Amino acid sequence: MKIRVLSFLAFAAALPAAPATAFQMGDATQTLCADGTNALCSTQPTDMNGHPPSIGYDPNTSEGGPQSFNQTFVDYFGWQAFVALNWPVDADGRPSTGRTIVTDTTSPRVWTTFKTKDDVFGTEKSALSGTDCATKKGSLKLFRTSKFGLSDFTEAFTPYPLIDRQGNFVLYDVRLNDTEVKYLLSNNLTTKAGQQAFGKAYDFPGGSGTQVGSIEIKSSWRIMTDKDDRSRYYTSPATIVVPAKYSETDQPMCIEAVVGLVGMHIMQKFSNPSLFSNFWSWSTFEHALNAPLADGAPVSPVNPRSTVTSLAPPACNRSPDPGDTTSYSFYNQACQSGTQNCPVNQPPKLQGSQTVYKWSASQPYASAYLTAGANGKYGTQVARCFALYPSALMVSKTFQAQLANSPWSNYMLVGAQWAANTTTETGPFQKLSPFAAPLYLANTTSETYLQTGSLTDPNKGSGSCITCHNLGTDTANNPSNFSFLPGDAQ
């Protein structure tokens, strides 16, 4: 029997509810708010102090109680951060005290006050060259870019874009909070010359007490059309910049659109337990209607080392399910090529002698790259290769209940990853530095083609956030503490 994305929530409903009272563990609690209360709030969680795990720890993605540091604490930390970062702000840019994430679904969010990577590293000017977009104010400014670079429109470690069911490219936005920006500026790390002169190891500040640590946010957006139900998404007006190089007409484009949030990846540095702190926490969220599960999709393996003997990823295929009538953003059951079902997680092909993907002059903007099927043309066919693990399902259920009657109830935690590097790991895990729980974690909107990527050779593209970002360097080729952003300095 096939499992639908929407069935994640139904399955979660059968799981036990979170504790009604807070179990304080430094600043990590199993409550809706990081202050230990069971109400949605704008308080950003800062740390995961408390009972350190034993050396040679066994990561676990099952539901966990308060006995020790476990997956459930990391999942609550991620959800608390997601709510706080998406809290509406007042005119002064501070979290609103009179409106909440549920009652206000249109105002700018806390994360929109953060600097973009283009603000910090000075890459925006070249992207705006030749357009009238530079003078437009008051909307989210999205560039035709990848997660890592302003001049590309590709996903991490690939040269490929993602196309939604309406035939439009997915757009990406990257932000840094003030803590991280201050560290970069105070150490002169926003320029290539400054990085070459730095001469020290990067160590972004971790959160502790009331001090929020370094945060990076990478979000994915769909262009909303008349065929989409906007009430189910957090939406924002956006200015989309298309430099001449990426336009079919060879003329720059400046597009005004409404975009809907389909993915958000939150990297956050904390301080305790120190065994884990250098590796950040990695929480990735998606809209529940993004894509279906692959056939027989397993939960990512974790590390009771006595039972995990292979790092081999699943095949990750998807057969049409006549009983699934869900209108997914990145999967269409009608897509067939001849007598065969369209393959999933395959990138669009460039046309002729093209070396870059180009936008059409009007919607659908990715019309030249749609998959030609027996019954029409389709966007990228996406399947989720790993099922959500029990703790993520349980914690999402708790928060979604409080977010009911708002677009935010349609978002789910795909997973929260954490890691330590110890000398006790054996067998194939010795090749992983650091070793993460869960082993595989990817966002289908920003790592579509890497979900089952190599864990032992991340240079080929890894299906693990931490393993991939462990390769991060600046422009001087210095390791940059799991952040790729210093590599954008000029």
Q: DSSP for 383-451? A: -BSSBPPHHHHHHHHHHHHHTTTSGGGGEEEEEEEEEE--S---GGGGG-SSEEESS-B--TTTSGGGT
Domains in the chain: how many in total? 1
Beta partners for residue 287, in sequence order = 411
Which of 265, 261, 263, 264 is CA-nearest to residue 235? 261
CA 106 to each of CA 88, 100, 101, 102, 391: distance values in angstroms, whole numbers, following the listed order: 8, 11, 9, 10, 30
The answer, yes or no, to whether the previous bond of 434 is cis (omega within 30 of 0) is: yes
Contact 166, 228 (CB under 8 A): yes
Is residue 207 exposed (0-12), middle (13-18) or buried (19+ Cβ within 10 Å)? buried
Query: What integer pLDDT is reported at residue 465 of this predicted model?
Result: 92
| Alpha helix (H) residue ranges in 314-403 | 390-402
Low-confidence ranges of the chain (pLDDT < 50): 1-27, 51, 54-58, 64-67, 126-127, 143-152, 304-308, 423-432
In a domain, 448, yes or no: yes
Which two three-digit tokens encode residue 6? 């929407």
In a domain, 390, yes or no: yes
| Distance of alpha carbon 289 from alpha carbon 291, whole angstroms | 6
| Distance of alpha carbon 41 from alpha carbon 18, whole angstroms | 17
| Distance of alpha carbon 186 from alpha carbon 440, whole angstroms | 35
What's 190's DSSP letter? Answer: S
Query: What integer pLDDT is reported at residue 406 of this predicted model?
Result: 97
| Those residues with Cβ within 8 angstroms of residue 435's Cβ, 6 or more apart along the chain or in another chain | 59, 303, 419, 420, 421, 422, 425, 429
Contact 257, 350 (CB under 8 A): no
Query: What integer pLDDT is reported at residue 418 of this predicted model?
Result: 86
Query: What integer pLDDT is reported at residue 310 of this predicted model?
Result: 58
Query: What integer pLDDT is reported at residue 434 of this predicted model?
Result: 53
Query: What integer pLDDT is reported at residue 155 of this predicted model?
Result: 77
| Distance of alpha carbon 148 from alpha carbon 331, whole angstroms | 25
| Distance of alpha carbon 308 from alpha carbon 301, whole angstroms | 7
In a domain, 284, yes or no: yes
CA 363 to each of CA 205, 224, 360, 371: distance values in angstroms, whole numbers, following the listed order: 43, 11, 7, 16
- Beta-carbon neighbour count of residue 239 at 10 Å? 20
In a domain, 1, yes or no: no
Model pTM score: 0.88
Beta partners for residue 37, in sequence order = none
In a domain, 2, yes or no: no
Task: Give the up-direction half-sphere exposure of residue 380: CA atoms within 13 A in the CB hemisphere.
Answer: 27
| Distance of alpha carbon 231 from alpha carbon 83, whole angstroms | 18
Which of 269, 277, 280 is CA-nearest to residue 183? 269
- Beta-carbon neighbour count of residue 423 at 10 Å? 7
- Beta-carbon neighbour count of residue 55 at 10 Å? 10
Residue 208, domain extent: 7-488
| Distance of alpha carbon 232 from alpha carbon 220, whole angstroms | 15
3-state secondary structure of 218: strand
Which of 264, 177, 228 is CA-nearest to residue 379? 228
In a domain, 311, yes or no: yes
Q: What is the largest CA-CA distance in the chain?
A: 62
3-state secondary structure of 221: strand
Which of 417, 414, 386, 380 is CA-nearest to residue 314? 386
Query: What integer pLDDT is reported at residue 124 of this predicted model?
Result: 52
Query: What integer pLDDT is reported at residue 424 of this predicted model?
Result: 46
Contact 397, 201 (CB under 8 A): no
